[in-house]
Amino acid sequence: MSELSWIIDRLQEVQNDEFFILRDKSYSYLDLVQNITTWQSELGRLGVVEGECVAIIGDYSPNVIFLLLALILNKNIIVPIGSESKEKQDEMFLVAKVNKYFEFNEDDTWNYYPVSGDSTHQLLDRLRIDNESGIIIFTSGTSGKSKAAVLCTSRLIERYRTAKRKPFRTMVFLKLDHIGGINTLFAIMFNGGTIVTSQERTPQSVCESIQKHKVQLLPTTPTFLNMLIMSKFYENYNLSSLEIITYGTEPMPQSTLSAMNSIFPTVTLKQTYGLTELGIFSTKSKDSHSKWMKVGGKGVEMKIIDKILWIRTSAAMLGYLNAPSPFVNDGWYNTGDQVEVDGEYIKILGRKSEIINVGGEKVYPTEVESVLLEIPNIKDVLVSGKNSPITGQIVVATVVLNELEETKDVRKRIIDYCKERLLPYKTPTLIIVSDKELVSERFKKMRSGVAI
């Protein structure tokens, strides 16, 4: 059984400090602690008991975080679901064995609903027997079916219990249904930092928030940094409060890193590394100009086999609820990331797989293909990735038609159809109409090497 009483002690140490800024309203750590207590009472009143799986549908807001903490302390298994994934909630509830859920509105008010259904699963029962809180995070899976990773909360936050770093006023960028978003929240909260949100994830909105709230730490992605560089909004705002910019979820182009160093010469640029299955690791970049980094921390072991990085860590997930365990018998996990090694430092070169990484979001070609095959006059389709200087990669669809049709019209029809069925980053950015009759078997063989 894990002891989580340190959480409240840690938050009380900084009770007068600012915890969260939302639309100019500020919440202190004292507000946080008091609201966690209020939420614990509310959970008792609603009959939410320990061990139950509870979904939270909503994005970053004070109440979402108060509830998340109350559920952790109540030893619940939490299923964070972003508002944009709401249409898939029934499927997610079924996989994650959700017993109850809270749905948050834009004004931070909420509604509560019980869910009926079977709640047993070997991995969830293990958490319950061990009296542990858990977090279930959905990660992209083949054929469009998301895999539900079960993480043990106390193992995820152990590194914050044992070590403290300087508190930063931090812009939150990744959402709470992403391992990076959860990790950012814990890193801010357990180090006494301040959460700052931006109304939109556009360069202008982010720059405005940095200036207004004197943000020191900006965790982001190379795609966002490309947009910031292109937009030149950094010239219109005072961003001198920035001390650290971290980047991850996709490979960083050297040209973007160089541009960032010349625009922000006094800011430390640091790469982050993590996976839903393993959590986020401590990293140390060689310097701001370098993509070489040390990855590790307490309880983390690494080895490299045939240039591929393998990791074993105590913070790893217990397994997937709806897929076989990816761990080999002794707990090692194949990250699939190709790396170069220089002494203690590694450089991530990317993954050799058919998964397409669009601005840090993973896309499985088969999911997109199955949607495109539903469209009239599409006889066959091949979806593949193509390098992009802006988003790392883009989704390319090569389609074969039953009957001749103007390419412009086909593109418009495909994009319109995908709007309702796929998230924007999964929608093909480039659609090529091929006049070659190709059987699907040959299509599959071509996937990794499609050229335009």
Partner 1 sequence: MVEVKNGIENAIKQILDQKSYKVPEIKDELRIIEDLGFSSLDIAQLIAYLEMELGIDPFSEGALISSINTVGSLCKVYQSCVDDNNIGGHGNE
Q: What is the DSSP letter of 427?
A: S
Q: Number of residues in contact with partner 1, rule: CB under 8 A?
A: 35
Q: Least distance (Å) from partner 1 to the CB of residue 375?
A: 15
Q: How large is the greatest C-alpha to C-alpha distance in the chain, in angstroms?
A: 70
Query: Could you tell me which stretch among 34-42, 44-52, 94-102, 426-434 binds partner 1 (CB under 8 A)?
Result: 426-434
Task: Determine the Cα–Cα distance for residues 347 and 369; give it in Å rounded to an integer.
Answer: 32
Burial class (CB in 10 A: 0-12, 13-18, 19+), 237: middle
CB 312 within 8 A of CB 298: no
Q: Least distance (Å) from partner 1 to the CB of residue 416?
A: 8
Tokens representing 416 are 């319109």
Q: Given candidates 323, 375, 430, 450, which one binds partner 1 under the rule CB under 8 A? A: 430
Q: Which is nearer to partner 1, 235 or 342 (CB)?
A: 235
Q: Least distance (Å) from partner 1 to the CB of residue 268?
A: 20
Q: Which is nearer to partner 1, 89 or 429 (CB)?
A: 429
Q: Given candidates 256, 283, 285, 335, which one binds partner 1 under the rule CB under 8 A? A: 256
Neighbours of 353 (CB within 10 A): 13
Q: Which is nearer to partner 1, 204 or 268 (CB)?
A: 204
Q: Which amino acid belongs to residue 169?
A: R
Q: Map residues 152-191 to x or -, x wherever contact with partner 1 holds by CB under 8 A.
A: ----------------------------------------
Q: Least distance (Å) from partner 1 to the CB of residue 370?
A: 21
E strands, 119-277, where? Answer: 134-139, 147-152, 169-171, 194-196, 217-220, 244-247, 268-271, 273-275
Task: Determine the Cα–Cα distance for residues 180 and 67; give it in Å rounded to an integer.
Answer: 19
DSSP notation for 341-379: EETTEEEEEEE-SS-EEETTEEE-HHHHHHHHTTSTTEE
Residue 6's SS3 state is: helix
Q: Given candidates 255, 353, 402, 448, which one binds partner 1 under the rule CB under 8 A? A: 255
β-strands 147-152, 319-320 pairing? antiparallel
Q: Which is nearer to partner 1, 134 or 365 (CB)?
A: 365
Q: Which is nearer to partner 1, 180 or 392 (CB)?
A: 392
Q: Which is nearer to partner 1, 83 or 202 (CB)?
A: 202
Sign of CA dihedral 167, 61, 391, 204: negative
Does residue number 331 form part of the binding site for partner 1 (CB under 8 A)? no
Q: Which is nearer to partner 1, 4 or 363 (CB)?
A: 363
Q: Least distance (Å) from partner 1 to the CB of residue 258?
A: 9
Neighbours of 390 (CB within 10 A): 14
Q: Which helix (H) or strand (E) holds 113?
A: strand 110-114
Tokens representing 22 are 């939302």
Q: Which is nearer to partner 1, 254 or 334 (CB)?
A: 254
Residue 156's SS3 state is: helix
Task: Determine the Cα–Cα distance for residues 384 and 452; give it in Å rounded to an integer.
Answer: 11
Q: Least distance (Å) from partner 1 to the CB of residue 365?
A: 17
Name the β-bridge partners of 112: 102
Q: Which of residues 204-223 bind partner 1 (CB under 8 A)?
A: 204, 223
Q: Which of residues 220-249 bind partner 1 (CB under 8 A)?
A: 223-224, 226-227, 229-233
Task: Determine the Cα–Cα distance for residues 438 and 436; give it in Å rounded to an integer.
Answer: 6
* CA 162, chain centre distance (Å): 24
Q: Which is nearer to partner 1, 189 or 397 (CB)?
A: 397
Tokens representing 233 are 């909004």
Q: Which of residues 355-394 bind partner 1 (CB under 8 A)?
A: 358-359, 386-391, 394
Q: Which of residues 389-418 bind partner 1 (CB under 8 A)?
A: 389-391, 394, 396, 408, 411-412, 415
Residues interacting with partner 1, by CB under 8 A? 202-204, 223-224, 226-227, 229-233, 255-256, 259, 358-359, 386-391, 394, 396, 408, 411-412, 415, 424-425, 429-430, 432, 452
